[in-house]
Structure 1
Amino acid sequence: MGFALFDTAIGKCALAWGPQGLAGVQLPADDGEQATRACMRQRFTQLQEAPPDEMAQQAIAAIQGLLQGVRDDLSHIALDMRGVSAFHQRVYAIARRIPPGQTRTYGDIAQELGDKGLSRAVGQAMGHNPFAPVVPCHRVLAAGNKPGGFSAGGGALTKLRMLAIEDARPNGMASLF
């Protein structure tokens, strides 16, 4: 168990791991590497920074690839969902099925959950996603394929940057960019 920082095309990211899979991923903080490290220490007070084990190394390589444009849905990465509500787990499972380069809306996911009225709750789940980009909340857009919010450093601009790397095409439309 531990956490480690690693370089990506969008900046210094971090992940925490344990015997049941990734416990969390941190996209780059606005204030750089030290802020990313501080976020990890705050989120995972029981973990120490350490060299990644084999599973974590494979996850790091896959995340780095995705953020360089490799078409990998990261579904092979095990996530430790202890402490994640059942509703959020359902939302994250749907989001994980969105392929790189494609998007869905909060409403689409709410409808798949059985109630279009859950759109706001889906948005809140995405905002609390502890596994971005393994759970690709950047591929979930607001109504009208607008970016909506993004809780990672850089906000919606980071979301748009990640979508540009994937050459995202909302619901089969032309590229966002």
Structure 2
Amino acid sequence: MTAPGYAVFDTAIGDCGIAWNERGVIAVQLPEGSEEKTRTRLAARLPDAVESVPPADVQRSIDGVVSLMNGKRTDLTGVELDYEGVPEFHHRVYEFIRSIPAGKTLTYGDIANILGLPGGAQAVGQAMGRNPFPIIVPCHRVLAAGGKDGGFSARGGVATKRRMLVIEGALADEPTLF
């Protein structure tokens, strides 16, 4: 297997990064405040990765992320993700969250209930906090009980989450079930 590749690209919310291997996208990095900081963070997460020109399928993923962050209703569910090393429960949560369309939100509790885990909101929240594919797995569309923002582990925290929701046309004040 060849070394993973990665690239840094500009979006409306700042410089993001993406990494891939032969099986698909292995990581997405939200902005860290500058192109260099984003690159450094992504390289630290994946020390074997080599900065390179993305293959066509990854470039389409980048174009989709850029489009979504520019406010266009872009469907990223076709992006191939490599879930190797991702716990089975997290994988299940991420695949469900990918079905939440832009402009819509659910709560951690809603997702737990839909997945047949009543009382599992905290477990869903923990999975969100470990999401290696933000934006493609749109954890920003998941809110706390009562439609409150909840947490967000990216630089800028909840302000970044709110900005992403505003770009997508979702109201962060109330869940908008789909």
Partner of 1:12: 15
- After the TM superposition, which of the residue ranges 79-88 and 110-119 deviates more from structure 2? 110-119
Count residues with an aligned counterpart.
172
Q: Give the 5 Å matches for 1:1-150.
A: 1-29=4-32, 31-150=33-152
Segments of structure 1 that go 5 or more residues without pairing to the other structure are none
What secondary structure does 2:28 align onto?
strand
Shift of 1:56: 1.2
What secondary structure does 1:12 align onto?
strand
Please state if 1:166 is matched with 2:168: yes
- After the TM superposition, which of the residue ranges 35-44 and 140-149 deviates more from structure 2? 35-44
Partners of 1:25 and 1:172 in 2: CA distance = 25
Verify the 8 A CA contact 1:73 1:96 in the aligned structure 2: no
1:69-89: per-residue Cα shift (whole Å, max 9, x none)?
111130010000001000000
Shift of 1:19: 0.9
Partners of 1:47 and 1:77 in 2: CA distance = 19
Verify the 8 A CA contact 2:170 2:176 in the aligned structure 1: no
Partners of 2:65 and 2:11 in 1: CA distance = 8
2:61 alignment partner AA: A
Partners of 2:111 and 2:96 in 1: CA distance = 7
Partners of 1:138 and 1:14 in 2: CA distance = 17
Shift of 1:135: 0.1
1:22 alignment partner AA: V
| Stretches of 4+ aligned residues off by more than 3 angstroms | 169-173
Shift of 1:94: 1.0
Partners of 1:171 and 1:36 in 2: CA distance = 31
TM score, norm. by length of structure 2: 0.93
Computed over aligned residues only, the root mean square deviation of the Cα atoms, in angstroms, reads: 1.2
Shift of 1:172: 3.7
